[in-house]
Structure 1
C-alpha cells in the first residue's frame, strides 16, 4: 500500500460530478488507503464492502470526534459552546448513544412513519401544484428541498416561517470543500442556530404541543433523561439530519433517472418498481459520500492494515456499495436489483434512525413527480449541474422542463 495519501480533489468539478472512477481505482488498489478528504483532513479510507460492514460495527472505532488525534477535526466545529454541538447521537457511543436514541426512536418506527404518508403526500402535491403550470422548475430549490424541510419542521413543531432559516444555518455549518471551512462562518451560523433552538425550546416549554420537541422537553424537565446541552444538540441534529440527506436522495434520484432514460421509461411503465428503485438510488449514488467517519480508540488492524490510535477512519459506504465482490455489475443503475443490502444508511447501532422516513419521502416525492410532470427533462446540459462539494452528495440545483397538462 502506498504511504503517500491520495488527494480526493473536491476542488475539481469533474470529480464532484462523477467521483466513481477515482473511487473504483482506490478500491482496486487496496482495501484501506490513506487519503486527504474534504476540508483537507487526513483519513484512512475503507473501500471494500465486507471490510466496511465490519468497521461500522467495530467498537474500537468511535463516533466521538474527541477520540481523534487530529486537532483540525475539533477546529472545524463551532468554537463557541462546542460541547453543546458534540452532545448528540451522531457523535456519541453507547451507553450515551443508547439513551439518547431511545428518546426519539418511537417517532421514527416504520409504523409511525407510515402514518405520516397522507401528510407527506399532501405537502408533495402542494409543491407540485405551484410548479406544474410553469413547465419548468429547479427541482431542488422548488421541490426536493422544501418537502423534507416542511416534514421535519412539522414533526418537531417548528413554525413554517422559520424553516428556511435553520436550513441556511445548517448548510453553512456542514458544507465541506477542498479547503477547511472558515471558523468565523461556522461560529456565526452555530450562534444563530443555538439562539433559535434555545428560543424555540422556551416557547415549547411555555406552550407544549403534540410534537416531538415537546416530548423531548418533557424528557428533559420532568424525567431528567437528558441535559440541556443534549436537548439543544438533539434538536439541532434532528433538524439538520431530518432534511439534508433526504433532499439529496430526491434530487439525485431524479437526476439519475434523467441520466438513464431506459430506467426512467421502465419506472414510468412499472411504478411498482419504485421501492426497489429507491434502494438502487441509495446504493448507486447515495447522499452520504464517500462515507462515514469513525476514530480509532486504539491501534487497530483493518483488512490487514495497521491503523494507529486516534486516526480518522473514513468508512466509504459509497465506494463499498459499488464493490463487485458484493454487487454484480455494480456500476450499472438497475432499478430491478433485488439483493441490495447497501450501506447508505450505515450499519450497526448507528444505523440511520430516519431511514424509514427518508425512504417514504423519496418514494412519494419521486413517484408523484413522475406522474405529474410528463416529459420531464433536464433544462441544461448534464455537465452544467452543480454538485455538493464534499461529505454529502446531491445536486445543488436541478433545472428541468416538463409538460403542463398534469
Structure 2
C-alpha cells in the first residue's frame, strides 16, 4: 500500500487539493487524518465509496441524534444541513419546489441583466478583477430569486462579503454582521407571515413562508435560517465557481476559442468545469451513528467523517484522464460537486444557470480577455472546507 502523509491539509491545500488528495485515494482511500484544527477525522476519497457514503443514513449530520438543538442566539447558527430526515425533509420541502430548473429559468432575464450591467462596470478597470464581478453577480442573482428589495442590497452585500472574507481580520465585525443578517431575515419572514400572508409575492422567501405552517414541526427560527442560508450559501460558492472556471479557461486559450466557436456546447462544458474545480473539497461533516464498513475499513460509531468531493471528481476509476479539462467529456455529468442523496444541493439548478449566464456573458462581451497573472501565480484563500480565489486579474480588452 502506498505510504501517505498524516494529513493533506498543508498551506497549499486551497490552491491545489487534488495532488494532495490523490495519494490517499490511490493508497489509503479511507484514512484517519487530522484537520488543521487538530481534530481526528475519517476521510473518504474514492468515487465509489464517496457515493455510497452520501447515501448511507448511518453517516448522519447529527450522529443519529433526534433531540432538538439547544436554543441559539441567532437563527443562522443552525442551518438546513445540520438536520437529518425526517426533519431535514420537512425543511427542504419548503424551498425545493421553487428551486427546480423550470422555476429557476424564470429568473434568467434578471440574471442576464445583472451580468451585463456588472460587466459593463468591470470594463472600465484595467486590469479588472473578475472575482469582484463574480461576487457582485452571484449576490444580485440570489437577491432577485429571494425577493430582496434593491434598497437593501448594498448593505446586505457588505455583510455577506465580511462573513466570507478570509483570513478573518475583525471577528467582532463578522459577528455584528451576522447579527444584522439574522435580524434582517427575521423581519422579512415576519412581514411575509403577517396579515398579507394570503397574498404571497412571487419570490422564494414569500413562497417558503407561504408553505410554512406556524406552530407546526418547523419553527420560525428554522424558516429564518433557511432563507438566510439560501442567500449566503449560494452567494459565495457560485462566485468562486465562476472564478475558478474562468481561471481554468484562461489557462487554456484553445478551450476559450472552442466555446466561442460553439456556444451551444456551454451547458455541457459547465458540467465538466464543475467536475474539474470545486469550491467545496468536502461535503458537510458527518458522524457515524454506528460502526460503518467503508471500502474494507470500519469507521467506528461516533467517528467524524469527511467525504472528499474533490478527490472523487478526479478519480480515474470514474473519469479517464481526470486531471485533464475536457469540455466534451462523456462522464462530465457524473461529478459530485452538488453532493448526492438527501442533502443534494438545493440550489444546483440556480448555480448551473448562473454559471452558464456568467461565462457566456464574459466570452461574448470581452472576446479578447487575457489573464494578467500566470496560473501558478494566482492567490488562493480559504481552508480544507471552503476554498477560492482571492482575486482574478484580467485585461478585458486584450
Structures share fold, TM-score greater than 0.5: yes
Residue among 25, 28, 32 paired with 2:26? 28
Larger deviation: 381-390 or 225-234? Answer: 381-390
* Match in the other structure for 1:371: 364
Q: CA deviation at 1:98?
A: 1.1
* Match in the other structure for 2:130: 139
* Match in the other structure for 2:305: 313
Looking at structure 2, the residues matched to 309 and 183 of structure 1 have their Cα atoms a distance apart, in angstroms, of: 35
Question: CA offsets, 1:194-214, max 9 Å, x none?
Answer: 222223334444576332222
Larger deviation: 198-207 or 303-312? Answer: 198-207
RMSD: 3.0
* Match in the other structure for 1:70: none
SS at match of 2:381: coil
* Match in the other structure for 1:9: 9
Larger deviation: 301-310 or 217-226? Answer: 217-226
Q: Contact (CA 8 Å) 2:4, 2:24: kept in 1 or not?
A: no
SS at match of 2:388: coil
Q: CA deviation at 1:193?
A: 2.4
Q: CA deviation at 1:366?
A: 0.5
**Structure 2 vs 1, CA of residues 40 and 164 (structure 1 numbering), >3 Å: closer, same or farther?**
farther
**Structure 2 vs 1, CA of residues 195 and 269 (structure 1 numbering), >3 Å: closer, same or farther?**
same
Looking at structure 2, the residues matched to 175 and 296 of structure 1 have their Cα atoms a distance apart, in angstroms, of: 32
Q: Contact (CA 8 Å) 1:56, 1:347: kept in 2 or not?
A: yes
- In the alignment, structure 2 segments of 5+ residues that lack a partner are none
Larger deviation: 266-275 or 203-212? Answer: 203-212
Larger deviation: 216-225 or 248-257? Answer: 216-225
Looking at structure 2, the residues matched to 218 and 106 of structure 1 have their Cα atoms a distance apart, in angstroms, of: 12
SS at match of 1:140: helix
**Structure 2 vs 1, CA of residues 163 and 385 (structure 1 numbering), >3 Å: closer, same or farther?**
farther
SS at match of 1:124: helix
Answer yes or no: is 1:401 the counterpart of 2:395.
Answer: yes
Q: CA deviation at 1:172?
A: 5.2
Residue among 378, 386, 389 paired with 1:392? 386
- In the alignment, structure 1 segments of 5+ residues that lack a partner are 68-73
* Match in the other structure for 2:239: 247
Q: Contact (CA 8 Å) 1:248, 1:395: kept in 2 or not?
A: yes
Answer yes or no: is 1:354 the counterpart of 2:347.
Answer: yes
Looking at structure 2, the residues matched to 269 and 106 of structure 1 have their Cα atoms a distance apart, in angstroms, of: 36
Looking at structure 1, the residues matched to 3 and 166 of structure 2 have their Cα atoms a distance apart, in angstroms, of: 25
**Structure 2 vs 1, CA of residues 346 and 116 (structure 1 numbering), >3 Å: closer, same or farther?**
same
Give 1:69-218 correspondences, 5 Å limit: 81=72, 84-85=75-76, 87-141=78-132, 143-163=133-153, 165-170=155-160, 173=163, 187-205=175-193, 209-218=201-210
Q: CA deviation at 1:347?
A: 0.5
Looking at structure 1, the residues matched to 191 and 91 of structure 2 have their Cα atoms a distance apart, in angstroms, of: 22
Residue among 41, 44, 47 paired with 1:46? 44
Q: CA deviation at 1:16?
A: 2.4
Q: CA deviation at 1:62?
A: 0.7
Q: Contact (CA 8 Å) 2:240, 2:388: kept in 1 or not?
A: yes
Residue among 293, 311, 325 paired with 2:317? 325
Looking at structure 1, the residues matched to 299 and 73 of structure 2 have their Cα atoms a distance apart, in angstroms, of: 27
**Structure 2 vs 1, CA of residues 27 and 154 (structure 1 numbering), >3 Å: closer, same or farther?**
same
Looking at structure 2, the residues matched to 247 and 2 of structure 1 have their Cα atoms a distance apart, in angstroms, of: 37
Question: CA offsets, 1:342-385, max 9 Å, x none?
Answer: 10000111111111110011001001101111221112333332
Q: CA deviation at 1:317?
A: 0.8
Looking at structure 1, the residues matched to 4 and 291 of structure 2 have their Cα atoms a distance apart, in angstroms, of: 20
* TM-score of the aligned structures, taking structure 2 as reference length: 0.88
Looking at structure 1, the residues matched to 59 and 177 of structure 2 have their Cα atoms a distance apart, in angstroms, of: 29
**Structure 2 vs 1, CA of residues 87 and 335 (structure 1 numbering), >3 Å: closer, same or farther?**
same
Looking at structure 2, the residues matched to 212 and 231 of structure 1 have their Cα atoms a distance apart, in angstroms, of: 12
